[in-house]
Amino acid sequence: MNVRYRQIEAFRFVMITGTTVGAGDLMSISQPAVSRLISDLEYSLKFKLFERKKGRLVPTPEAVRFYQGVERFYIGLDELDHVAEQIRTQKPSDLKICAMPALSTFVFPHAVRKFRADYPNVALRLESSSSSEIVSRLQTHLTQLGLTLAFPEVPGIVQEPLMEAPHVCAVHETHRLAKKEILRPADFEGEEVIDIMPSGLVNWNLTRNTLDKAGIKYQRHIGVQNSHTGYSLIAANLAIGLIEPFAAAAWLKNGVVVRRFEPQVMFRYVIAYSENQAEPATMQAFVKYVREACGKLKDLTGVGTGIEEAD
């Protein structure tokens, strides 16, 4: 496949303007020239990009999918321009951090507040992704720092211990189990329990196995991947959960209460980064503030979590 840049540019502008005339105006070429570029692109791709309906160009499903890739390409070019400008003007480089969704909503507010006070001229780029996406972005240097559950060893990626945190039992404030301070597997008998499904490199089987090994009978009709979704269902009193504690703080004012669960179901969390990159002072500072935020987990949830902050 031999796709030329000018063809991609014509396709992008047709998608943006909706017409070959509009694309031609932006490219300073004629409408027939745009049509020719689109035709050549379709020949190279071996699929059709537009249908003409009632005198209008309508993108095919293939065109819509292809356009998503094109936009990612142009975002990459814009990022290169941004980096070049920073080098020319000697501005501090952006700091890119990626974290699991629940972990990001918990640690980012504190870490960002402290970081912005110390480094007001450094731009932060914050993303939330699954563990596998975080590893991929670290390998391709699209992010500098990853906050996630511990994962199997990956060449070129360093994992530093962040903390160990147990799952908590989350129930609605009117639920019968809300009256107990400590919950055990037997308390789940007959209950509808949120099923946390695997996501990326993360497997929550330890949670399920803890209940199954107790030999109790419970319902598992609702499966979610995002713990905020799980907490929202608990807030609606539709189920209870044995779930990670980080998202709890956002739901404690929405009818959710959390209780310690025994035996503890512990998970290890890490700070990950590429071993081939330098560790600028800005990155070290952000890691420090992340650790501070993790130390506040017990205060926010009101649950003795047994978290051990890494040295």
Query: pLDDT (tens digit, 9 = 90+) per residue, 116-160?
Result: 999 998 889 899 888 888 988 888 888 889 999 998 888 889 999
Q: Could you tell me the end-to-end alpha-carbon distance of the chain, in angstroms, rounded to an integer?
A: 53
Token pair listed for 104: 């990001």
What does the pLDDT look like over 40-77, one tens digit per residue? 988 888 889 998 887 788 888 888 888 877 877 766 55
Question: Can you give the pLDDT at residue 310?
Answer: 35
pTM of the model: 0.66
CA dihedral (231, 236, 239, 244) in degrees, to 10, reads 10
**Residue 308 pLDDT > 60:** no
* Side-chain-side CA neighbours of residue 163 (13 Å): 24
Task: Identify the CATH assignment for 165-267 out of 3.40.50.1000, 3.40.50.10860, 3.40.190.10, 1.10.20.10.
Answer: 3.40.190.10
Above pLDDT 90, what percent of the chain?
A: 38
Question: Domain limits of the chain?
Answer: 5-88, 94-160+268-301, 165-267
**Residue 92 pLDDT > 50:** no
Region 161-189: mean pLDDT is: 94
Angle between helices 5-17 and 61-89 (to 10 degrees): 110
Question: Can you give the pLDDT at residue 307?
Answer: 38
What does the pLDDT look like over 96-121, one tens digit per residue? 999 998 889 889 999 999 999 999 98
Token pair listed for 33: 């020239």
What does the pLDDT look like over 225-254, one tens digit per residue? 888 999 999 999 999 999 999 989 889 899
**Residue 83 pLDDT > 80:** no
Task: Identify the CATH assignment for 5-88 out of 1.10.10.60, 2.30.40.10, 3.40.640.10, 1.10.10.10.
Answer: 1.10.10.10
Pick the closest to residue 145 from 206, 197, 103, 185 (CA basis).
103
User: Matching CATH topology for 5-88 and 165-267?
Assistant: no
More confident residue, 276 or 29: 29
Counting Cβ atoms within 10 Å, is residue 88 exposed (0-12), middle (13-18) or buried (19+)?
A: exposed
Architecture field, domain 94-160+268-301 = 3-Layer(aba) Sandwich (3.40)
